Amino acid sequence: MRNPFALPPMPPWMEKPTVLGRLTKGLALVIICVLVLYPFVLAVGTSLAGADELREAGGWVLVPSQPTLEAYQVLLSGGVVTKAAVVTVGVTVIGTALSMLATIMLAYGTSRPGAFGSRWIVLMMLGTFLFAPGIIPSFLMVKQLGLLDTYAALVLPVLLNAFNVIVVRQFFMNVPGELLDAARMDGATDLTILRKVILPLSKAVLAVVGLFYAVSYWNAFFNAMLYVQPDKYPLQMILRSYIIDAGEMNAGDLGIAHLPPGQAIKMAVLVCAVAPIVCVYPFLQKYFVKGVLTGAIKG
Answer positive or negative: Cα dihedral of 173, 178, 181, 182.
negative
Distance of CA 199 to the CA centre of its chain: 21
Average pLDDT over residues 250-260: 56
Tell me the percentage of the chain whose pLDDT exceeds 70. 83
Q: Which residue, among 141, 163, 168, has the nearest Cα to 152 in the 3D structure?
A: 141
Q: What is the pLDDT of residue 256?
A: 53
3-state SS of 85-129?
HHHHHHHHHHHHHHHHHHHHHHHHHHHCCCCCCHHHHHHHHHHHH
Q: What is the pLDDT of residue 155?
A: 92
Q: What is the pLDDT of residue 10?
A: 64
Q: For 273-289, how does the pLDDT look when each residue is reduced to its tens digit (9 = 90+)? A: 888 878 877 776 666 66
The answer to whether the beta carbons of residues 92 and 86 sit under 8 Å apart is no
Q: What is the pLDDT of residue 132?
A: 75
Q: Which residue, among 140, 99, 144, has the nearest Cα to 226 in the 3D structure?
A: 140
CA distance 164 to 229: 30
Q: Give 117's contacts (C-beta < 8 A, 6+ positions apart).
A: none
* Phi, psi dihedrals of residue 58, rounded to the nearest 5°: 80, 20
Name the amino acid, one letter, at 241.
S
Q: What is the pLDDT of residue 92?
A: 93
Q: For 131-160, how does the pLDDT look when each residue is reduced to its tens digit (9 = 90+)? A: 777 888 888 988 998 889 899 999 998 898
CA distance 278 to 265: 20
195 pLDDT more than 80: yes
Query: Between 15 and 170, where is the model more confident?
Result: 170
The listed range with the strongest mean pLDDT (14-28, 63-77, 99-113, 186-200) is: 99-113
Q: What is the pLDDT of residue 98?
A: 95
Q: What is the pLDDT of residue 253?
A: 52
CA distance 71 to 66: 14
Q: For 13-64, how does the pLDDT look when each residue is reduced to its tens digit (9 = 90+)? A: 667 777 887 888 899 999 999 998 898 899 899 888 888 888 888 888 888 8
What's the pLDDT band for 12 if we cut at 50, 70, 90? low
Q: Which residue, among 96, 46, 61, 6, has the nearest Cα to 267 in the 3D structure?
A: 46
Tell me the percentage of the chain whose pLDDT exceeds 90. 13
What's the pLDDT band for 80 if we cut at 50, 70, 90? confident
78 pLDDT more than 70: no
- Claim: this prediction has a pTM higher than 0.85: no
The answer to whether the beta carbons of residues 209 and 221 sit under 8 Å apart is no
CA atoms within 13 A on the CB side of 148: 8
Q: What is the mean pLDDT of the chain?
A: 81
Neighbours of 208 (CB within 10 A): 24
